[in-house]
Amino acid sequence: MTDAAEELERKRAESNARADEHRAKRDKLNAEARTIADERGRILDELHGRSADAQDHRRHRDQLNSDVREAKRLREEWNRKLQELGDKVQELKRSRTPRPGAIPVWRLRKELKELEFRHMTTALTGDQEKRLIEEMKRLEAAVREQDQELRQDPEVEATLKSFQEARDEAEKHHAAVGQLAEDAQLEHEAMVGLYELVDELRRQADEIQTRLIEVKTAADEEHRAHIASIEEVRDLEKTLFAARGGRAPPSWADAEPPREEDFLARLKKGEKVSTEDLLELQKTGRG
């Protein structure tokens, strides 16, 4: 073999080695890209799930806030009724004349409040406190007695019953407002926590996407370098074939030339080819 042919053989071997090196790097990078893509998919799946949970909490919060508004409306409505019925009760009590000689209830209540205030703010001896307490009990009994007499009046009794029902309803809706508002706040806090997690997952997904693009770009560069090295091998094989006067070495005698255009098209698409295909192409060098 001439020195020129030996030089061509050396260059062909170097190009072949570079092709193998670029292919190995490409395959390693593609494997890394698949791992990164799987991780990104896992994060995106979790992101979508958390986002759906956050939206559920938001819907529940909005419904609870709507319920709060309705409970407030009902509370105000029953408070108005309670006030109206309270005024009616007082009017009925004022309009009902107590039995002859009885002290009006309003005066009894006034005296009772004065004694209660005196009991709380004045230093009393034991006997004084005892007499004061007895007087307070007497006034309370007198009030209860007149209240019982008033309840004998059907109109008063019906109004007092309606007053108590209105008070119960107002208190019920007041309690509902507090409970619903608390539940809505819990839903809001859960929603905010999930949206914060979604933002973090989105940040992680963006970082992984950037890394994926970097790795895929590097893999594509290695693939193009691999193709370029294969084309160098092909060109060198053609030159060697011509340098030998168009005579193929003994190992080519029975070989059928590979279809280079199909082979290179498969490589450019990133499809895998066997080592035998590559060696066969390198041996023939035909175009």
Q: At what angle do helices 3-95 and 105-121 cross, to 10 degrees?
A: 120
The CATH number assigned to the domain holding 84 equals 1.10.287
* pLDDT attached to residue 151: 72
Q: Is residue 189 part of a domain?
A: yes
Residue 264 and residue 230 in contact, taking contact as beta carbons nearer than 8 Å: yes
Determine how many CB atoms are found less than 10 A away from the CB of residue 233: 23
* pLDDT attached to residue 217: 95
- Residue 138 CA to residue 132 CA, distance in Å, equals 10
Nearest to 285 by CA among 228, 239, 250, 247: 239
Q: Is residue 262 part of a domain?
A: yes
Q: Is residue 43 part of a domain?
A: yes
* pLDDT attached to residue 33: 95
* pLDDT attached to residue 253: 40
Q: Is residue 167 part of a domain?
A: yes
Angle at alpha carbon of residue 131, lines to 127 and 137, rounded to 5°: 145
* pLDDT attached to residue 252: 41
DSSP 25-79: HHHHHHHHHHHHHHHHHHHHHHHHHHHHHHHHHHHHHHHHHHHHHHHHHHHHHHH
Determine how many CB atoms are found less than 10 A away from the CB of residue 176: 17
What CA–CA distances, in Å, run from 121 to 1, 95, 108, 129? Answer: 128, 35, 20, 12
Q: At what angle do helices 154-243 and 126-151 cross, to 10 degrees?
A: 90
Please give the torsion angle defined by the CA atoms of residues 129, 130, 132 and 136, in that order, rounded to the nearest 10 degrees. Answer: 130
**Boundaries of domain holding 168:** 3-96+153-284
Q: Is residue 120 part of a domain?
A: no
Polymer length in residues for the chain: 287
Q: Is residue 163 part of a domain?
A: yes
* pLDDT attached to residue 246: 61
Q: Into how many domains does the chain fold?
A: 1
Please give the torsion angle defined by the CA atoms of residues 15, 16, 17 and 21, in that order, rounded to the nearest 10 degrees. Answer: 100
pTM exceeding the 0.75 threshold for the entire prediction: no
End-to-end CA distance of the chain: 23
Q: Is residue 245 part of a domain?
A: yes
Determine how many CB atoms are found less than 10 A away from the CB of residue 190: 17
Alpha helices in the chain (DSSP H): 3-95, 105-121, 126-151, 154-243, 260-268, 275-284
Residue 232 and residue 285 in contact, taking contact as beta carbons nearer than 8 Å: no
Tens digits of pLDDT across the chain (287 residues): 567 778 888 888 888 899 999 999 999 999 999 999 999 999 999 999 999 999 999 999 999 999 999 999 999 999 999 999 999 888 887 776 666 667 777 688 888 899 888 888 888 888 988 999 998 998 888 888 777 777 777 887 888 899 999 999 999 999 999 999 999 999 999 999 999 999 999 999 999 999 999 999 999 999 999 999 999 889 888 888 877 766 555 444 443 444 445 555 555 555 555 545 554 544 444 33
Q: Is residue 147 part of a domain?
A: no
* pLDDT attached to residue 154: 84
